[in-house]
Chains A and B, each alone.
Chain A
Amino acid sequence: MVNVDALRGYAADLLEKGQVRAVIGYRRGTAGVLAQPCTIDEAGEAETLVWDPTCLNNLARYLVEDRQQQAAAQTRNKTPDGRPVAIVAKGCDSRAVAVLLQENYLKREDVVIIGVSCEGSGVIDPRKLAARPEGRWASRVDFAGADAFKVTVGGDETLIPARDLLADRCLECRAAAPALNDVLFGEVVTERGLDEPFRAVKAAQGATEDARWATWEHHFDRCLRCFACRAVCPMCYCPECVVDSTTFVNTPGTTAEEKATRIRWCERSASVSESALYHLTRAIHLAGRCIDCGECERVCPVNIPLRLLNTKLEMEAFEQFQYEAGRDFGQASLLSSFRDEDPNSFIR
């Protein structure tokens, strides 16, 4: 079991001794059952940190935001506080940090990883919880071993099978503890009796070609192009998204010629073709980088199963190239490396 008091103590100690500038973690949410991300910079606030199955967010995203703020401070000629930031990280969050390290977005010494184990379980899917009669009024969800969650409704506590509430990605998770950490709270659980990895993708690709297109055409048609998927993704830290002209970076050095020559790979209209181009590009740009935190899918306001696109490619990477995003931050990236024995039979 993760000893949350010990976690709080560790965070308080880091802040107390001034070893970190801030701690990114979770605290009790102000609306509903879900925990919410927080950044604390005083030891006294460490008491508010929590760790439970409602800690859904991938906090690595906040490391990205933090770095962007640091960079912005630098451009305003302020000397940034050079001390590292600590982050509370689940398995998937720590893999995201590993990818950010692999891509030189962060330096190892700039981050302290406070690992937390998912106790052989995972986090909940709030939609699954809300779909249950007791779920809508739940005030707390706690780990209760690998197979169940303890849901508190009013004064009552009920055990609900983990399988019924777990987020889809947690059902398929292969590493529910952070391999990359500076300190780990809770146990590393390697045996998992839940779904096999990539189950959902395998089911989806079992449909006929026409059925697959019908499904995805429906999804692409519903996409609002709100870009929430991109905003929440820790890997979508590009200064300018190549398939969205709204994010074009203009610096004092940007010439009119440059502005005029930006490539419009994709129109802004939310039509099937343009949304398909956006989502497919995003998927391929995340190949070997997506660590399956499922955040894109969670935040999608129209419930597009975006995880499938990414996990499809992660499955291919794993099965064909024995590559796992975030496994090792020293590895060469999936697409900038190759092996002689890579698949060749698809080529004429």
Chain B
Amino acid sequence: MPNSSQSPAPEAQAHEPRVVAFLCKWCSSAGSDLAGVSRIQYSANATPITIPCTGSMSPLYVLSAFNKGADGVLVSGCHPGDCHYMEGNYLARRKLYLVKQLLQFVGLEAERFRMSWVSAAEGAKFAEVIDEFVGDLRPLGPQTRLKAKH
């Protein structure tokens, strides 16, 4: 439902964004479970990879996903103060802020990398985050800038 009405008919064959969503196990992955339990429909473009904590995100995961052809990369974790491991999301926030700044600096489209806080109780927000992200990526078309050509 969220997607079908967005693309105008002439571009029906438009590129479907491929998103890698790194979700922390305790909040955002649990939030996506809640979206499931609540049967909230959202775009199927994002494939989740569950990690213990956003603090464990290596910047290389983001760069590698773009290198392997991701059109968008999402990192989602616990709200500040809610990290299961107390501090991991704060470390992630600082580090991924810099990653985002760097990617924008070299001219990767700013929309392609996104971070969100989604708690275990925010199933609806999880669905919104994915739909918004995919909606913002769709007009950009395929990500060619950092994608490997081989």
- Touching chains A and B, CB distance < 8 Å: yes
What is A's interface to B at a CB cutoff of 8 Å? Answer: 201, 204-205, 209-217, 242-243, 265-267, 269, 271-274, 276-277, 280-281, 283-285, 287, 308-309, 312-313, 316-317, 320-321, 334-338, 340, 342-344, 346-348
Given contacts A336-B91, A348-B114, 5 further A-B contacts (CB under 8 A): A209-B107, A212-B107, A267-B148, A277-B63, A348-B115
Interface SS, A side = helix
Given contacts A265-B64, A281-B59, A284-B99, contact A342 B148 (CB under 8 A): no
Question: Is there an interface contact between A334 and B102, defined as CB atoms closer than 8 Å?
Answer: no
> Contact residue range for chain B?
35 or more
Chain B residue contacts of A285, Cβ below 8 A? 59
Cβ B110 vs Cβ A273 within 8 A = no
* Contact B60 A335, beta carbon cutoff 8 Å: no
**B20 vs chain A, min Cβ distance (A):** 15
Q: Is the CB of B64 within 8 A of A277?
A: yes
CB neighbours (8 Å) of A212 from chain B are 105-107
B101 sits at the interface (CB 8 A): yes
Known interface pairs A283-B102, A335-B95, A342-B93; A271-B148 also in contact (CB < 8 Å): yes
Bound complex: CA of A296 vs CA of B129, how far in Å? 40
Cβ A344 vs Cβ B99 within 8 A: no
A273–B98 contact, CB under 8 A? Answer: no
Q: How many A-B residue pairs have CB under 8 A?
A: 119
Q: For residue B118, which residue of chain A has the nearest CB? A: A348
The answer, among A209, A211, A281, for a CB contact under 8 Å with B63, is A281
Distance of A112 from chain B, by nearest CB (Å): 34
Contact with B98, one of A272, A274, A316, A336 (Cβ below 8 angstroms): A316
| A148 CB, min distance to chain B CBs, angstroms | 34
B108 surroundings in chain A (CB, below 8 A): 213
A273 touches B102 (CB 8 A): no
C-alpha gap A210/B107 in the complex (Å):
6
Q: Which residues from B are CB-within-8-Å of A216?
A: 106-107
From B60, B97, B110, A281 is in contact (CB under 8 Å) with B60
